[in-house]
Amino acid sequence: MQYQVRVDDGESSVVVESLRDLGQAVDCYVLQILAMTEADVEIQLVQLIGEDDEYVPITSHTFV
């Protein structure tokens, strides 16, 4: 399976990293949360499904 950690500022979503291992994806997600210093940003962990960049959100954290 393929997972992505994304940072979304409301205008665009940037893929921080794509990983095949869920444990590594969770580690990356947590590191992004700990490193975030900006407001109005959402960190997302998603699982890719299909070949058309469709995804299922696993979890997200929003900084306000």
Are the beta carbons of 6 and 12 closer than 8 angstroms? no
Mean per-residue pLDDT of the chain: 93
| Rounded mean pLDDT, 40-63 | 91
From start to end of 21-53, where are the E strands? 41-49
Flag whether pLDDT at 21 surpasses 80. Answer: yes
The sheet carrying 13-19 orders its strands as: 13-19, 2-8, 41-49, 54-63
| Rounded mean pLDDT, 8-20 | 93
| Rounded mean pLDDT, 36-50 | 92
pTM attached to this predicted model = 0.88
